[in-house]
Amino acid sequence: MAEPKKVISFRLPLGADLKYSLLLTLFLFAFWVVLSGRLEARYLIIGFLTALGVTVITRPFSVLPRDSAAGGTPVSVWGLPWLRLLAFLPWLFWELVKSSISMAWVVLQPKMPIDPQVIRFEKHFPHPVGYLVLANAITLTPGTLTVDVQDGRFTVHCVQKATAESLAPAEREGEMPRRVGLVFGAARQVDLVPEDDDNGEEQ
């Protein structure tokens, strides 16, 4: 049976569209003011027109098709839970500091205590930006590096076995996916997908 071709709509409701376009225009205008540093009327007017024009030009890129698991309705890139994201960032920065120190410790020891392995787990976000935040957060935190993200399946390279277990412990969610999941709303439980090709020793 031929699979029906998936129709993806890229159109937002008008109110949301206007709201997020305005948000982007404001961001861009603030960016312009910081870059230019001149508060004369001429520059402000040029800046506002530029911000407006860029918002219009880049409109095709600010709308994303949503994960089909979450209903398939499109969503704006700029329609993020900004406050929760901001509250999440200090914790991420602290994790980054800790991970850098541990990485420095690993690198500077004469006999490097590394035991690399690749793990996989699955997590779905209702908002696609969640994938970006989780992937970058994994890259920045202790001993883990996002290698691939495909359809919510994360392939992560870990330097040590302990870090692999901290990210995706058996039978429950790791700390990092749980926190990003809190930021971006409900998400499915993490599933450990067993390694299919070579690493036979880990379950």
Partner 1 sequence: MTYVAAALMLAGFFLLLVGTIGVLRLPDFFTRLHAVGKCDTLGMLLFIAGLMVYEGLSLTALKLLLIWIFLAIANPTATHIFSRAAYRAGLKPWTRGKEGAG
Partner 2 sequence: MHSGFGGIVLNIAFRFLLPFILVFAVAVLMHGHHSPGGGFQAGALLGLAVILVQLVQGRDAKWVGRREAVTLSCAGALIYLGIGTLSFFWGGNFLDYGVVPVEATAAKARALGILGIEVGVTLAVMGVTIIMFDSLTRERREE
Tokens 């420095």 correspond to 104
Residue 75 · residue 128 · CB < 8 Å: yes
Shortest Å, Cβ 91 to partner 1: 14
Beta strands per DSSP E along the chain: 63-64, 75-76, 117-122, 144-150, 153-158, 191-192
- Characterize the bridge pairing of strands 153-158 and 117-122: antiparallel
Residue 52 or 106 having the CB closest to partner 2? 52
For residue 68, state whether it binds partner 2 (rule: CB under 8 A): no
**In this chain, which of 14, 71, 201, 203 binds partner 1, going by CB under 8 A?**
201
Q: Which does 51 bind (CB under 5 to 8 A by kind): partner 1, partner 2, none?
A: partner 2
For helices 41-57 and 14-36, the axis angle rounded to 10 degrees is 140
Shortest Å, Cβ 52 to partner 2: 11
Residue 63 or 168 having the CB closest to partner 2? 63
DSSP letters along 102-129, please? Answer: HHHHHHHSSS-----EEEEEE---SSTH
**In this chain, which of 12, 129, 168, 190 binds partner 2, going by CB under 8 A?**
129
Main-chain phi, psi angles of 25, to 5 degrees: -60, -40
Q: What is the DSSP letter of 79?
A: -
User: Which positions touch partner 2 (CB under 8 A)?
Assistant: 24, 27-28, 31-32, 35-36, 38, 43, 46-47, 50-51, 54-55, 57-58, 60-62, 64, 77, 128-129, 131-132, 135-136, 146, 148-150
User: Which positions touch partner 1 (CB under 8 A)?
Assistant: 31, 34-35, 37, 96-97, 99-100, 103-104, 107-108, 112, 114-118, 132, 135-136, 139-141, 143, 145-148, 155, 157, 159, 199, 201
